[in-house]
Amino acid sequence: MSKDLEIKLKNARGVSMHNGALRIQFKLPGQNNPTRKSLGITLTKKNIDVAITRLGSIRADIASGLYDNDTSAFWRKHFPADSANNLSQQTVKDYLTKYIVERDGELSLSVQSKLKTLNTWLTKHKLINIEITKLTHLHIEKTIKESLKTLKQSTVNDYSLLFQRIIKEAVRDDIISISPFDRARKIKAEEKIDDQKPEPFTQAELIRLLDVIHIEQSKDMIEFSAWTGIRPGELKALAWEDVDLAAGIVHIKYNLNRGGQLKLPKTAASVRKVELMPIALDILKRQQAKTYLKSLIAENIYYKLSKPDVVNRRRVFLSRSDKPYKCPELTTAPKQWENWLRKAKLIHREPYQLRHTFASQMLMVGADPTWLAKQLGHADWGMIRKIYGQWISGERPDYRNELAIKLGQLDPSLTPKGKAGTK
């Protein structure tokens, strides 16, 4: 190598010789170590200038955000003949994008929303730009441990499960032989007492809550939820075409999603027949006077990977402006739910606890768990046992005596205050 060539190469920052060819190095966002790429050209003054120009263009595209916004386009632009454009250099972001694109039309709005927050989570923990082949179980364990300091276990689990699905795509593509999740330790935070069980309303608490609500429609919807256990989106999607007042039954066929679309409920078991308690039936009879004679409205029913159906329906519950609801939440007014709880002097809990209220009240009076599972839209009663089993025994201190009475082992007239005697 001539002296002039040696000086020129030395002054070309980021350019070097490797295995007889010029090589450039640059640092990608989120990576501590530089990335080195061979240009496959020999050492000449002209080729050093070519390498400097290529490197400048690469750094400019990194600075402008091309790499962050479209990693695949970045590699195709600067290394079009490189076989690692060839999947082996695909990053976590590439596979996240691939997952979303390949499942276009299949993902619910809820999952789409979770994927957006997953992207934020991966970016925050500097995983988004790591090459799939370099992602290890240590990255995952560290991220989960850090996340548990500020997030609930359930939230971290959601992110992890979704991330795991995306990494499995790389296994399917034979880019990696095994998912790093398979090697990662199971890391769990210590459960807080408040997170271990539902917090349903007692009947007395429910009455207190209803007493402070002066919007008649809201009051009816809340009470109906508490005595049917249906989900808020199912409640707002309910139409008179789904109601059999004579039999005291509603058929849950659709759910209102966050995009204001009517879709099938979340699982096959959620398409169900709900038998109404007398209180719930009375609420529908009151609603009948308000909305039953409304004109039919043509509504689109949306399906995965299929064109929508058009169905003529009359919603049971309408907004104040007599329009079908567009949001599945029980109430969308800021702080309205919290204000009601405060006025009723009740501890804070989410509206979803109304569903737990129905389940707990039914089990308290001896409802068959299998029947209750069908009412709630569960495939079997395993979820009933998991969620409510411990709560029932904890909230019914006389449960043993109740069983003993049914078995004829105690005199019921002597048991109300725990003064029972053996027969």
Verify that 249 and 315 share a domain, yes or no. Answer: yes
Q: Is the pLDDT of residue 193 over 70?
A: no
Q: What's the sign of the alpha-carbon dihedral 305, 306, 308, 309?
A: negative
pLDDT of residue 423: 40
Residue 420: alpha-carbon gap to chain centroid: 49
Q: Which of 30, 52, 78 is the last residue of a domain?
A: 78
Verify that 254 and 360 share a domain, yes or no. Answer: yes
Tokens of 146: 């850090």
Q: Which residue has the higher pLDDT, 297 or 190?
A: 297
Query: Which of 17-26, 73-82, 107-116, 363-372 has the least mean pLDDT?
Result: 73-82
Verify that 175 and 207 share a domain, yes or no. Answer: no
Asked, for residue 117, whether it belongs to a domain, the answer is: yes
Verify that 371 and 253 share a domain, yes or no. Answer: yes
Q: Which of 78, 104, 127 is the last residue of a domain?
A: 78
What tens digit of pLDDT does each residue of 232-267 get?
999 999 999 999 999 999 999 999 998 899 999 988
Verify that 188 and 210 share a domain, yes or no. Answer: no
pLDDT of residue 57: 93
Domain count across the chain: 3
Which CATH number do you get for residue 249? 1.10.443.10
Average pLDDT over the chain reads 87
Verify that 188 and 207 share a domain, yes or no. Answer: no
pLDDT band at 83 (very low <50, low <70, confident <90, very high): very low
Apex CA 116: angle with CA 112 and CA 121, to 5°?
A: 140
Verify that 274 and 372 share a domain, yes or no. Answer: yes
Asked, for residue 178, whether it belongs to a domain, the answer is: yes
Asked, for residue 417, whether it belongs to a domain, the answer is: no
Asked, for residue 210, whether it belongs to a domain, the answer is: yes
pLDDT winner (highest mean) among 97-111, 143-157, 394-408: 143-157
What residues contact residue 330 under an 8 Å CB cut-off, 6+ apart? 221, 222, 225, 232, 235, 337, 351, 354
Q: Which of 131, 166, 195 is the last residue of a domain?
A: 195
Tokens of 169: 């795509």
Q: Are 409 and 423 in contact (CB under 8 A)?
A: yes
Asked, for residue 353, whether it belongs to a domain, the answer is: yes
What tens digit of pLDDT does each residue of 7-58 get?
899 999 999 998 888 999 999 887 788 888 888 888 998 999 999 999 999 9
Verify that 261 and 341 share a domain, yes or no. Answer: yes
Which CATH number do you get for residue 116? 1.10.150.130
Range(s) of the domain holding residue 169: 92-195
What residues contact residue 149 under an 8 Å CB cut-off, 6+ apart? none
Neighbouring-strand partners of residue 21: 18
Verify that 254 and 191 share a domain, yes or no. Answer: no
d(CA 82, CA 76): 8
Q: Is the pLDDT of residue 106 over 70?
A: yes
Q: Is the pLDDT of residue 89 over 80?
A: no
Apex CA 80: angle with CA 76 and CA 83, to 5°?
A: 100
Question: Closest Cα partner for 228 from 318, 121, 325, 330?
Answer: 330
d(CA 214, CA 62): 57
Verify that 139 and 233 share a domain, yes or no. Answer: no
Apex CA 398: angle with CA 396 and CA 403, to 5°?
A: 105
Q: Are 130 and 139 in contact (CB under 8 A)?
A: yes
Asked, for residue 420, whether it belongs to a domain, the answer is: no
Asked, for residue 17, whether it belongs to a domain, the answer is: yes
Residue 205: alpha-carbon gap to chain centroid: 30
3-state secondary structure string, the chain? CCHHHHHHHHHCCCEEEECCEEEEEECCCCCCCCEEEECCCCCCHHHHHHHHHHHHHHHHHHHHCHHHHCHHHHHHHHCCCCCCCCCCCCEHHHHHHHHHHHCCCCCCHHHHHHHHHHHHHHHHCCCCCCEHHHCCHHHHHHHHHHHCCCCCHHHHHHHHHHHHHHHHHHHHCCCCCCCHHHCCCCCCCCCCHHHCCCCCCCHHHHHHHHHCCCCHHHHHHHHHHHCCCCCHHHHHHCEHHHEECCCCEEEECCEECCCCCEECCCCHHHCEEEECCHHHHHHHHHHHHHHCCCCCEEEEEEECCEEEEEEEECECCCCCCCCCCCCCCCCCCCCHHHHHHHHCCCCCCCCCHHHHHHHHHHHHCCCCHHHHHHHHCCCCCHHHHHHHHHHHHHHCCCHHHHHHHHCCCECHHHCCCCCCCEC
Tokens of 371: 């029947």
Q: Is the pLDDT of residue 223 over 80?
A: yes
Verify that 44 and 69 share a domain, yes or no. Answer: yes
Verify that 69 and 26 share a domain, yes or no. Answer: yes
d(CA 280, CA 228): 7
Asked, for residue 396, whether it belongs to a domain, the answer is: no
